[in-house]
């Protein structure tokens, strides 16, 4: 019995030390977790970005996308150009978590925009090859838990998108633990140290694989482009546009330019064509040379300047029509 008590005492102390270490680790990541990644820091600021836009005494345009629009748009320049052309203030907000898709856009818009009643005058959804098609929610479990899903949307998420026990368990662990939610970022930092040029090589490999799986041929605009091993659906973007419609927010889709011409899937074209404002198509109209896309997808600073200037001109008729309709 004495040996058992001694063993329990030792194991108890060990458990206390482990728990204390986990608490210290959690406190540390809650304090400095955003320094692991500029993307994490951006997602931590989504509430502020949307709140600042909502407070603006101006025509409000909210862009929600990923790194394509982050690298391609100069929001300040777009604000200035549209304000001059419209002869009234225009405010532009930009929310752009890296690698995000309609699944994340839907829940972050529900949490930070629609549920808070902070509706913009125009919502712009930029997209590239394959971006609008549904992806497995488990790929975004940690970001959904830590950043995008509000308490009011939990039942919808668990009943429609995260339906298996493992995904739900990971979601709730990430919900309560910042360290657990950031584990992929921690892993990436470790790989940066262990593998030379990992940060530059990994996205190129992943994007090439995604293009092969998601888009098929990019030369035939009418091709069905079947995905590998799964059914291509647009349920999340349809849920997003329905949610925006209920809130009275028009949604404009923006096909982004890339170094190579890519095809808009016929199902996407049909969905966009059913509504207004519809689509702004920059795939082949901007005439940017390939060198303006150092990695084949994201624009450099000169490409960004030219894209923003052209976008202002193309966006103006929609903004003008909406402003007049609202009595602005």
Lowest mean pLDDT, pick from 156-165, 226-235, 286-295, 307-316: 226-235
Q: Where are the domains of the chain?
A: 37-134+232-328
**Residue entry with tokens 């930009």:** 94
Distance between CA atoms of residues 55 and 46, nearest Å: 14
DSSP code, position 34: G
pLDDT of residue 225: 41
Tokens representing 112 are 């930070």
DSSP code, position 228: S
Model confidence at 218: pLDDT above 90: no
What is the third-level CATH fold of 37-134+232-328? Rossmann fold (3.40.50)
pLDDT of residue 35: 54
Could you tell me if 61 and 91 are in contact, meaning their C-beta atoms sit under 8 angstroms apart?
A: yes
User: Of the candidates 285, 239, 279, which has an alpha carbon nearest to the alpha carbon of residue 105?
Assistant: 239
* Close Cβ partners of 175 (under 8 Å, ≥ 6 residues apart): 145, 146, 181
Mean pLDDT, the chain, integer: 80
Dihedral angle at the C-alpha atoms of 50, 53, 55, 56, nearest 10 degrees?
180
Q: What is the mean pLDDT of residues 4-32?
A: 47
* Close Cβ partners of 275 (under 8 Å, ≥ 6 residues apart): 241, 251
Model confidence at 28: pLDDT above 70: no
pTM for this one? 0.79
Could you tell me if 252 and 122 are in contact, meaning their C-beta atoms sit under 8 angstroms apart?
A: yes
Residues of the chain with pLDDT > 90: what percent? Answer: 52
- Tally of CA atoms within 13 A in the half-sphere of 240 that contains its CB: 27
Query: Confidence band (pLDDT; 50, 70, 90) for 73?
Result: very high
């Amino acid at each position: 019995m004495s040996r058992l008590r001694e063993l329990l005492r030792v194991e108890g102390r060990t458990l206390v030390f482990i728990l204390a270490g986990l608490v210290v680790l959690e406190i540390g990541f809650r304090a400095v977790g955003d320094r692991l990644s500029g993307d994490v820091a951006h997602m931590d600021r989504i509430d502020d970005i949307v709140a600042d836009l909502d407070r603006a005494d101006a025509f409000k345009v909210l862009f929600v996308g990923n790194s394509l629009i982050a690298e391609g748009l100069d929001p300040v320049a777009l604000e200035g150009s549209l304000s001059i052309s419209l002869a009234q203030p225009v405010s532009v907000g930009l929310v752009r978590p890296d690698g995000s898709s309609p699944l994340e856009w839907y829940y972050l818009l529900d949490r930070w925009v629609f549920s808070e009643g902070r509706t913009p005058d125009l919502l712009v959804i930029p997209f590239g090859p394959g971006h609008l098609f549904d992806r497995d929610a488990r790929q975004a479990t940690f970001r959904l838990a830590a950043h995008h899903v509000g308490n009011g949307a939990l039942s919808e998420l668990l009943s429609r998108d995260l339906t298996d026990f493992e995904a739900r368990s990971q979601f709730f662990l990430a919900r309560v633990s910042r360290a657990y939610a950031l584990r992929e970022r921690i892993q990436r930092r470790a790989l940066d140290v262990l593998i030379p040029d990992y940060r530059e090589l990994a996205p190129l490999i992943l994007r090439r694989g995604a293009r092969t799986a998601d888009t098929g041929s990019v030369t035939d605009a009418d091709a069905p482009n079947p995905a590998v091993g799964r059914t291509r659906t647009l349920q999340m973007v349809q849920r997003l546009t329905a949610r925006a419609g209920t809130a009275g927010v028009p949604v404009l889709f923006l096909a982004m330019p890339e170094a190579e011409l890519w095809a808009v899937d016929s199902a996407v074209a049909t969905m966009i064509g059913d509504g207004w404002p519809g689509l702004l198509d920059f795939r082949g109209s901007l005439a940017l040379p390939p060198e303006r896309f150092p990695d084949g997808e994201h624009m450099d600073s000169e490409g960004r300047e030219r894209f923003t200037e052209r976008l202002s001109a193309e966006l103006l008729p929609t903004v003008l029509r909406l402003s007049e309709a609202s009595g602005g």
